Every structure is written in C-alpha cells, then in structure tokens.
Amino acid sequence: MTQINPDLFLSASSAAKTRSAPLAILSTAIATTLSILLIPEDPSSEGALFYPALVMSAGLAAAPVAAALRHPKALLRGESLLTLAPIYWLLLDLLQGVYGMQDITADEVRQAFLAIGIFVMMVWVGVIQRPWRIPQVVISSVSQEFSINTYFALAVACFFIGMLKFAVPCNFNVFEMVQYLGQDRWAAPWGRGQLGGWDAFLDHLQYFGYLLPVLTVVIVRRGGLRNARSIICITMSIVIALFLAQSGSRRVIGVVGGMALILWVLDQRRLRIKHLLASVAAVVALLVALQFMLEYRNVGLGVLVGKSEMQSGRFEKRQILEEQHLRVDDNFYRLCQIIQLIPESYGFVYHRYLIYVIVRPVPRVFWPGKPVDAGFDLPTALGVEGVSYSYSVIGELYMSLGLIGIALGGWFYGRVAAMASALLARRTTQGALVIYSIVVMALFSGVRSILELILVSYVVLAWVGLSHLFIKLRHAKVK
C-alpha cells in the first residue's frame, strides 16, 4: 500500500506558520475593531448585526483563504478550521438575520465580538509555539501501515461494536430497531435521560461507529468504489449514520461526515478542480442533511412514508420557517445573555465547568455524586424550564473566567491544533491521517462546546484501542 504524502497541505513548517499567524492576528484585530464600531445602539431587530458580522467574518477568513490560495489543503489545518468555526457557530445566524437581540444592549454585543476576536487571536498564539509531546500510545497506534483487508476488518469491528448501543436496548431485535428509526428523537429505547446508570456504557460504544465512515473512505480510496469491500463498508456507514441521526443530534452527523470528507480531501495526492467541486457539493449536501434533521427530528422520519403523524399543524409552521434559513444555533444571542448575567448577577464558575465536562463521560454508577452542572445554568437563570441552551465554547470560557478564560481557552485549542499537525508530520500512515481528521473535526465541533471536543476525542481512543488490538493479533499470527 502506498503511504500518504503529507505534502504541502499542512505547510507544517515554522515558515508557513510564521507567514499565516501575523496575518491572522492582524486581520482578526482589525475586523474586531471595525465590527465593534459598526454595532448599532439598538441591536434588537433582526438583521441589525449583519454588517458587523460580515466584517468580522471577512477578517476571520482572511488568513485561511490566503493560505488556501497557495495550497488548497491548507484550509484543513486545525488552526484554519478553528478560525473559520466562529463564522459557522456564532456569526452565520447574524448574517442571515435569523433572530433579533431582544433585551440585549449594544455594549453586551460589543463584548461578544471582542470575545470572538480574543479567542481566535489566541488560537494562533498557541499554534506558533512548539507543539506538545504526542503520547507514545498514539504514535505507536499509527506507526504501522495496515493492508486493505485489515482496514476492512477494522471497519466491520467498528460497525458491530457501534451498533451495540442500538441493538442491546432492543434485545437484538432487528425489526424493532428499524421500526424506531422512523420515530421521533425521544421515542427510541436507546435514548436516556441526563442521569444515566449502567446504560451510559452503551453511549461510549457509538464512538466506534463514528470511525466507520472514515475507514470507508480509506477502503474506497485503496480498493475502488466497485470493490465488494467498499460496497459493504458504504452500506454499513449508511446504516449506522441513520441510527445516529435518529437522535436528532445534528452535530454527530456533521462530525462523522466532516471527518470522512477531511480524510478524502487530504488523501488526494493532488487536488484538481473536480475534487474541489466534489468537496463543495459534499459540504452543501451535508448542510442540507443537517437542516433536514432539524425539520423532522421532533416528529420522526416516519412522516415521510406515512408511518407516524404530525402534531396539530405545528410541524408545518416550523418547517416553512426553517426553510428560509440555514439554522445553526442561537449561540451568539446566548453568549450575549451570559455576558449580561455574569458577573453582574452571577459570579464566575472558575474551574467548576472544566471539571464538569471532564468527568461527564464517567458513568454515574462509578461516581454517584459527580457534578450535575457547571455551577451556572442559563435557562434556570432566565426562568425557563425543560430546555437547554448552547452558547459556544466562548460563552463557556467567559462563564468560567471572563475574557481571561477566553484567552486561555483559545490558546489551548491552538496548542491541540499544533499537536495534530505535528503527528501527521511525524507519521505518514493512513492511521495518522485518520487521527488527524478526527482531531481537527473535534476542534471544529469543539467551538460549539468544550464537551464536544472531549466527546469527539473519544473516537481517537476507539481507534487507538482497536488498532493496538489488530497489531497484536497480526504479531501473534506471524509467530
């Protein structure tokens, strides 16, 4: 098997980072200043923040686009994706004028734009420093190249392990599993509440399923699209994607699809126009799929084939509304609310949020008294019950330690991006490319929440565990 060429997509050398970092920091600083000056005194109406969001987006995109003009694959460097992520997670709704900023003052909006600017600038400060040492267990998992047969075996193992999350609650009844696919996100027996017990172990098994589309790309690239192993892997990827999508969690499908797309692009020895067009088409298709999930997740896909009923016209009204916009989350609005409440009415939570997200994946059966919240809950503070709000990693960092917390968090994300690039510079196996694709997509989704960064990083552990198992089995077979 031919080893991948890390080629010029990374431009992982110090010279490349030195070129991009000053431009990124300067353009972000200028864009932040201009956007703050453009904020109207009354930001409450829909579309009032279009021009500040447009200027900020242009400033953030300047360095990644400039690097991509030299080497298109540079757009997939961790720091580039981190720089572009706030455009998607925070500014896209403002550009579309999806909602207004009711009860938010201009000063609070200015602080929100400043927070975005500080986060991105500190990402680049973290990137240009010497990367952290990569754990030896990760390096050893990508030190050996596998054959296509081994990759196929890995894919099959990921499928069956990942499907256990859905099969066990249904007592391995395939017909029952398929039946629940058409129902709403809360109906399936594999769903659970916030405080789980032993069933929390099943949640961790799904991270093996996240690996399947990435491994499918590897197999298709090596064996061809018409190869029997490729067809089987594509089928398994579609099946597990449907089950993952039933939860209604758009981020999961976005992460899984994004990892596969990143690997496919980076695995091209030379990017041609057809590859760029295919990539754009894939991104558009993924965004449409995510929007489709948003429309149907509360009623189930069964409405499309007449197997479930819509609720009293509310769905039709929501559908018409959502088709007018590409909805993400109201992260920017919630960020402004966090700024409005902290520290004026509530104190910073400091380390409590970090501890909360780090220990959250630990099954409660091992730690019954583990923290159930971060010390501050926005819906509760606003007097709203039965909902949860997302306010991006920037909001979480501000909740922890204000602008200082945002600066430290941006620096940390930049350090992780630098470490991912260092891994691919040291190892040129497909395994290294798999881990790189996982980590940079974890960073992108991690701009939505620190918890997303931690949970998606579990996919790396799934790869490390399986790859070490297969390496040992191969050595045992040779002996």
State the DSSP code for 75: G
pTM score: 0.89
Measure Cα distances from 193 to 80, 186, 277, 297, 373 in Å. 36, 10, 42, 17, 14
Average pLDDT over residues 438-457: 91
Of 282-286, 324-328, 401-405, the least confident? 324-328
| Residue pair 397/446 in contact by the 8 Å Cβ criterion | no
Give the pLDDT confidence score for residue 315 in this predicted structure. Answer: 42
Distance of CA 163 to the CA centre of its chain: 21
Round to whole Å and give the CA distance between 196 and 367.
11
Tens of pLDDT, residue by residue over 183-203, are: 766 777 777 655 555 666 778
Round to whole Å and give the CA distance between 61 and 64.
6
Average pLDDT of the residues of the chain:
84
| Residue pair 136/420 in contact by the 8 Å Cβ criterion | no
The pLDDT > 90 percentage for the chain reads 43
State the DSSP code for 89: I
Tens of pLDDT, residue by residue over 397-406, are: 999 999 999 9
**Residue spans per domain, the chain:** 7-137+383-478, 145-322
Which tokens is 78 given?
A: 């961790």
DSSP 165-234: HHHGGGTT-HHHHHHHHTS-TTTSTT---SS--TTHHHHHHHHHHHHHHHHHHHHHHHH-TTSHHHHHHH
Cβ atoms < 10 Å from Cβ of 312: 8
Which tokens is 391 given?
A: 């306010």
DSSP 447-474: TT-HHHHHHHHHHHHHHHHHHHHHHHHH
Distance of CA 25 to the CA centre of its chain: 23
